[in-house]
Structure formats: C-alpha cells, structure tokens
Amino acid sequence: MLFNNQAIDMDSTIDGNNNVVDQDMNIDINMNSNTMGMGQNMGMMTTNSPIMEPVQERQINRTFVHQVPHVCPIHTRIVNHHIFKHTYCPRYTCCEENVCCNIDQGSCCNFR
C-alpha cells in the first residue's frame, strides 16, 4: 500500500426529484508525511491518470394516475300496480202497499 496511515472521511448525499438526480460528495483526505515513511521523497510522487469506476445506475420509479371515465347506463322502470278492492254495502229501500179487503156479508136480501 502506498499510504499506510491516512485518514479518509467521505460524506455523500443523493437527492432525487423526478428526473433530476443531484449528488454531492465531500471527501477529505488527511495524510501525515511523518508516518508514511516517505518523509523526504514527497516531491518525487508521480501523478497517475484517474481510475475509472464502473457506472452506477440509479433507478427512479414514478407513478402516474390516469383517470379513465366509464359510462354505465342505468334505466329505471316504474311499474304501477292498481288494485281494485270491491266492497258491498246494502241499500235498503221501502215501499208501502195498501190492500183493501171487502167483507161481503151477503145482500140485502139476506136481512129478512
């Protein structure tokens, strides 16, 4: 290992808002030259090209609600039932009749 005693602090935050991804990374590297064993040779360090890391894929799932109106026709039929209840009430009538009766006790001839 090139650096034996080093302190590396890494903080990263990822904010996702619909299609935009903001990524902030703060990296602090503290190297102590006395403990690295390279004391006087610090000026002789060479700069290497950056190391390419594999691509990180981030997935953002979004949900869309679509309102689809459906027409449901409803027909109401009203059936009226008429019930005829027949009731009978008597109507009394009255008539009067005079009967005449003749008692015939005979004729005048009978009185003798």
- The per-residue pLDDT for range 64-85, each reduced to its tens digit, is 999 999 999 999 999 999 999 9
- Beta pairing, strands 20-31 & 6-17: antiparallel
**pLDDT reading at 1 higher than 50:** no
Distances (CA, A) of 16 to 10, 13, 22, 47, 64: 20, 10, 6, 35, 17
The verdict on residue 11 lying in a domain is: yes
Could you give the number of structural domains in the chain?
1
The verdict on residue 48 lying in a domain is: no
**pLDDT reading at 54 higher than 80:** yes
Distances (CA, A) of 78 to 40, 50, 72, 75, 100: 105, 84, 19, 10, 68
The verdict on residue 98 lying in a domain is: no
The verdict on residue 82 lying in a domain is: no
User: What percent of the chain is predicted at pLDDT more than 90?
Assistant: 42
Q: How far, in Å, CA of 28 to CA of 7, rounded?
A: 8
Q: How far, in Å, CA of 80 to CA of 30, rounded?
A: 94
The verdict on residue 62 lying in a domain is: no
pTM: 0.24
Domain that holds residue 14: 6-37
The verdict on residue 85 lying in a domain is: no
The verdict on residue 28 lying in a domain is: yes
The verdict on residue 81 lying in a domain is: no
Cβ burial of 36 (10 Å; 0-12, 13-18, 19+) is middle
- Does residue 25 sit in helix, strand or coil? strand
